[in-house]
A and B are shown apart, each in its own frame.
Chain A
Amino acid sequence: MSELVSLHENPTEQFLRTDRMPHIWCPGCGIGTTVNCFTRALLDSNANLDKVSVVSGIGCSGRVAGYLNLDSFHTTHGRAIPFATGLKLARPDLDVVVYSGDGDLFAIGGNHFIHAARRNVDIKVICVNNLVYAMTGGQTAPTTPGDALTSTSPYGTFEPSFNLPQLAEAAGAVYVARWTTYHVRQLAKSMFEMFNKKGFAFIEVLSPCPTLYQRRNKMGDGMETLRQYKELSKRKDGASTSEVGLTRDGEIVVGKFVDRDRPDYATLMKAHYQHTMGDKYVETGAIICQ
C-alpha cells in the first residue's frame, strides 16, 4: 500500500483531503509516493497553500488533484497544461502545478506540453511516468519502452518511445529533472527547487504500476520495482538529455539535467507591450472580474 495510508503520523496530512480517503490507487502503486514527496516539498517551501493550484488531466495520476487539499482542477484528458496556462496568465499571483500521467501529458497532450515549454509559461509540471496507460487497463503509451508487453501490444511494443527530458529541454523548459519513486528525498528536494524556479519546469518521476505494467512484464510487485530502480538508476546531474533515454531493462539515468534561466511568458509579454505601446499599455496583474 502506498504511504498515503499512514495518515496520522504524517506531517503532510494537512495537504490531503482526508475526507476523500481511501484513495483509488492499488497496493504498490507509486503515485502516492510522489504525492508524499510533493507535500513534503510544499511543507519545506513555506508556500501559502491558499495560493497554490493543482491541475491534473485524466488517468490514475490525474487523480492526484482530487486528493490534495488545495484549489484543484481535474480537467480533461491531455489538457491540464492549457488549462493551467489560462489560470496562470489570469492569476500570476498563484503557483500553478500540473500533475499528470505520461499518456496524458505526452500522447494526447504532447502538443500542449511543447508549446507551454516554448512559451515558458511559469507552471510546474510533474509527470508520473508508469510507462503505460494505467487507468484504461495498461495500453501502450508513447513512453512504453521497446519490447514491453501491454494490452494493446500483446506481442510487445516496437514503436520508439519518447525521451521526456530531451523533449522538455528541446522545447524550452528551464528546469528538467528525472527521479524514480525510490528517490523520495531527491524527488522532494527537486520539487522544492522547482517551486522556486520561474518558468516552465518539468520533473519526470518513474513510478511503478504493478497492476498493469510490472505484472504483465513479469517484473514483480511494487517492492521489486523499487529494488530495480535502486539497482538500475545512476545519478548524473547535468547529463546530456540526449543520453538519458529509457529502455525496458537498462540503466535509468536520474538527476537534474537542466537548470537555466530565460524570461517567462508573462515577463516577456509585459516587457514587449511596454516597449511597443509605452504609456498606452495597461499592466494587468491578477485578472478578476466584477
Chain B
Amino acid sequence: MTVHADPKGVLTGTHFIDGDHACCEGALAAGARFASGYPITPSTEVVERFAARIPSVGGVFIQMEDELAASIALQGAVWGGAKAFTVTSGPGFSLMMEHIGYALMTETPCVFVDVQRGGPSTGLPTMPAQGDMMQCRWGSHGDYEVIALAPNSPQECFDLTIRAFNLAEKYRLPVMFMMDECVGHMTEKVVIPPADQIEITPRRLTKQAPDEFLGYKADEDLVPDIAKAGDGYRFHVTGLTHNEKGYPSMTVKTQDKLIHRLQDKILQNADDISINEEVDLDAADVVVVAYGITSRVAMKAIQMVRDSGQKLGNRKLRIGMFRLITPWPFPDKKIRALAGRIRGFVVPELNLGQMSREVERASGGLAKTIAVTHAGGTVHSPEEIAEAILEAAR
C-alpha cells in the first residue's frame, strides 16, 4: 500500500544541488520530520540542510552530543510516531553499530545515512571510500539481514532516499543508505517531482484493539504491525530476545524463531527489495559489478574498452555492467545465473575487496572474479578497470 507524499516536504522543481542536499530533500519528501545528528565530514550537509528546512516544514532537528545519542534519539521519535533518520560517516557509523542492532531487533523503521570516507579510524575525512559496505551488513553483533542502498548520483540520492524510507516502513528495519564522499559532494541536476507523483509507504500501524495486539506477531510477509506510544496499547519494546507480545523470553526456542524471522523477512522478500541496473548483460563475456561513484568510473572504462575495438576470437568483446543499487540483500541468484554464462566478473570498489567477495561467493566458481581494489582517497582510473576487463576476458 502506498500514499502520496505530503506536499509540505516536497520541493518540487529542477534543482542544481549535491548528493547530500538531495538526500535531505529525499528524506523530507519521504515524510521524515525528525532527524538527530552529530556533525561529521562529508555527511554534515545533509543535516545542515535539514536544520534549515525543518522549521518551515514542521518537525524537529536536534544535534545530539554524540552518535550513540543521535542513533537512539531517532528511534525514540519513531516509536512516538515520526519518520526519522540520522546521518554520519566512518567514525560516527562505527559508534552507531549498537543502535543499528537495536533497531533491527526491535523492528524500528528508520534510515541510517553513511556518506563513506576513507578509513579505518579518522582516515581521510574529506575523501571518498566505499569501505563500510561490510560494516553496514555485519557491523552490529549477532546475526541479521539488512537492506542497503548505494546511489551513484544526486538524483538517486533523492529518489533512493525515498525508497529507503519506504523499505524501512514496509519491512520494519533500519535501512542503510550508503553514499560516498564523491556522490555526496557532487553537484548535478536533481528533478523533484510534484508530491502526487511520489509514492510513500505509510507506517503499518495496527488495526487491532489494544487487548488483542501482539507487537511482534508477524503477518504473512513475516513483518509485524506496529503501535505507537500514546494510543493505549501499553506495549513493550526491548532489545532482549522477546516473544510475540514483546516481552523478554530468553529461551533457545524464542531466539531461534525470532532471529530466523528477522532474517527471513528480508531473504524471502529479496525480489521485492532488490533493484539493480543491468546494462548489456544478455550476451556479455565480462560483467563489471559496481556501485556508487565507482559505477560511473566503470562505465567510462567499459566505453574505453569498447572504443578500442577489443576482440574475443573474431568478434567484438562484449562487456556488461551490473550495478548494485541495493548491495544488500545481495543479488545471489542473478550473479549465479550470470556466472554460468560469462567469462568473468570485474569488481572495482574503493576498498580492498568487500562486495567482490560476495560476487565470488555467489558465482560459486562458475566464473572468475577480479577485484579492482583501491584504498580510497580518490576514484579509480578507468584504465585500471579497463585492464581488469581485458584480463577477465582472457
Contacts and interface: CB of A to CB of B under 8 A. Distances in A.
Interface string A259-275: 00000000001000100
B75 A53 contact: no
Given A85-B76, A87-B77, A282-B57, A288 B229 contact: no
Interface in B73-87: 73-84
A245 to B, nearest CB: 25
Interface string A151-180: 000000000000000000000000000000
Interface stretch (B63-71, B254-262, B354-362): B63-71
A71 B233 contact: yes
The secondary structure that dominates the B interface is mixed
B102 A90 contact: no
B318 interface: no
Given A50-B232, A85-B62, A89-B60, A72 B55 contact: no
A230 interface: no
- For chain B, which range describes its interface: under 10, 10 to 19, 20 to 34, or 35 or more residues? 35 or more
A91 B62 contact: no
Interface in A239-266: none
A55 B238 CA distance: 10
13 contacts: A66-B238, A70-B234, A71-B233, A72-B236, A73-B76, A73-B79, A73-B236, A74-B240, A82-B73, A87-B79, A87-B80, A89-B60, A288-B228
A283 interface: yes
A289 B76 contact: no
A82 B234 contact: no
Nearest to A118: B65
A82 B34 CA distance: 14
A82 B64 contact: yes
Given A87-B79, A269-B60, A288-B228, 17 more contacts: A51-B230, A53-B229, A55-B76, A65-B236, A69-B234, A74-B240, A78-B68, A82-B69, A87-B80, A89-B34, A89-B62, A90-B34, A90-B80, A91-B229, A94-B229, A287-B82, A289-B83
The 9 closest A-B pairs by CB, nearest first: A86-B76, A86-B73, A87-B76, A82-B69, A90-B80, A91-B80, A288-B81, A282-B58, A90-B77
B55, B73, B229 pick with most chain A CB within 10 angstroms? B229
B121 interface: no
A136 to B, nearest CB: 15
B34 A53 contact: no
Contact of A91 (B3, B57, B81): B81
A19 B246 CA distance: 12
A110 to B, nearest CB: 10
B65 A86 contact: no
Interface in B86-105: 98-99, 102
Interface of B: 3, 6, 8, 31, 33-34, 36, 55-60, 62, 64-66, 68-70, 72-84, 98-99, 102, 200, 202-203, 228-240, 247-248
B102 A290 contact: no
A94 B76 CA distance: 12
Given A71-B233, A82-B76, A112-B69, A290 B202 contact: yes
Given A111-B65, A280-B55, A289 B73 contact: no
Interface of A: 17, 19-20, 49-51, 53, 55, 65-66, 69-76, 78-79, 82-91, 93-94, 111-112, 115, 269, 273, 277, 280-284, 286-290
Contacts of B239: 74-76
Contacts of A89: 34, 60, 62, 73, 77
Nearest to A93: B230
B195 to A, nearest CB: 12
A70 B233 CA distance: 8
Given A74-B237, A89-B60, A90-B76, A282 B55 contact: yes
B82 A289 contact: yes
Contact of B99 (A69, A74, A79, A277): A79
A290 B238 contact: no
A115 B66 CA distance: 10
A280 B62 CA distance: 19
A277 to B, nearest CB: 6
A287 B77 contact: yes
A94 B230 contact: yes
Contacts of B202: 289-290
Contact of B238 (A74, A91, A283): A74
B69 A75 contact: no
A115 B65 contact: yes
B229 A86 contact: no
Nearest to A71: B229
B99 A91 contact: no
Contact of B72 (A49, A83, A115, A289): A83
Nearest to A288: B81
